[in-house]
């Protein structure tokens, strides 16, 4: 007969009751879910949203950099084009300025009837080329004196002018576009001193005489009828 060891049954852990037909895994106690823990799917979505926000921020920064570079490039192109045009205009103006004495000689020869033969053809060709490059001549007798485009070399008084007037063109002026490269050198005439006063006094006297005549007609009952 085998002796039973006292307390042996007490040392063994008590197995939970397993219903019939159930597996041993069903009998194991399941851990209760921890409160406050986020499911795995939600954590993944949060990470994706954070990455998407970072990508959008980086895209916005790169877009702003590209727009700034494009604006700087456009400004650079406009500045280069403006400088190129300015340099071209300065070069043309310098060239034509050197040709002005030749054009003056051609003009004097034309005035004296010496522009004939082959010299005439060369002179006209030179004037045509200068005009194509934008050279314009100005200065005419009888136009009002403008100190911004005229240079007065001679001065006189004349009774038949009412303002300072160019009465003779000693040397024509030249311009390229709106830029004057040489003012017209002219002789000017001003109204005679006192001419305006005499004219004004004469106008006043005529006006007074007319008023007196009108008063006399009124007193006499007007002009006779019939």
- Counting the structural domains of the chain, the total is 2
Domain that holds residue 187: 136-211
* CA nearest neighbour of 168 among 153, 181, 183: 153
Position 155 scores a pLDDT of 92
Position 17 scores a pLDDT of 56
| Domain C-terminal end among 84, 110, 133 | 133
What CA–CA distance (Å, rounded) separates 26 from 18? 8
pLDDT in tens, 190-216: 998 865 554 555 555 555 555 554 455
pLDDT in tens, 149-164: 999 999 999 988 899 9
Query: Domain of 145: which CATH number?
Result: 2.30.22.10
Look at residue 9 and tell me if it is in a domain: no
Do 106 and 150 fall within a single domain? no
| Domain C-terminal end among 103, 133, 163 | 133
Position 199 scores a pLDDT of 52
Position 138 scores a pLDDT of 94
* CA nearest neighbour of 183 among 171, 168, 167, 201: 171
User: Would you state the structure tokens that stand for residue 188, as one six-digit string?
Assistant: 């000017």
SS3 7: coil
By CB atoms closer than 10 A (0-12, 13-18, 19+), residue 14 is exposed
All residue ranges of the chain with pLDDT < 50 are 1-2, 5, 8-9, 198, 213-214, 218, 221-226
| Domain C-terminal end among 133, 158, 178 | 133
pTM of structure: 0.55
Position 8 scores a pLDDT of 47
């Amino acid at each position: 007969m085998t002796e039973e060891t006292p307390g042996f049954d007490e040392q063994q852990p008590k197995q939970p009751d397993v219903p019939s037909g159930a597996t041993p895994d069903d009998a194991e106690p399941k851990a209760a879910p921890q409160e406050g823990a986020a499911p795995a799917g939600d954590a993944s979505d949060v990470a994706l949203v954070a990455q998407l926000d970072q990508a959008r921020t980086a895209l916005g920064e790169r877009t702003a950099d590209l727009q700034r570079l494009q604006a700087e490039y456009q400004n650079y192109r406009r500045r280069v084009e403006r400088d190129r045009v300015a340099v071209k205009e300065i070069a043309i103006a310098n060239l034509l300025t050197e040709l002005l004495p030749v054009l003056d000689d051609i003009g004097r020869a034309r005035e004296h009837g010496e522009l004939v033969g082959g010299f005439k053809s060369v002179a006209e060709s030179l004037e045509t080329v200068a005009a194509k490059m934008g050279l314009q001549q100005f200065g005419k007798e009888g136009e009002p004196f403008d100190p911004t485009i005229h240079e007065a070399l001679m001065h006189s008084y004349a009774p038949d002018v009412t303002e300072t007037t160019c009465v003779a063109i000693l040397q024509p002026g030249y311009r390229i576009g709106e830029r004057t490269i040489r003012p017209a050198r002219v002789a000017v005439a001003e109204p005679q001193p006192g001419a305006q006063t005499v004219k004004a006094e004469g106008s006043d006297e005529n006006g007074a005489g007319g008023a007196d005549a009108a008063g006399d007609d009124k007193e006499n009952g007007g002009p006779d009828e019939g």
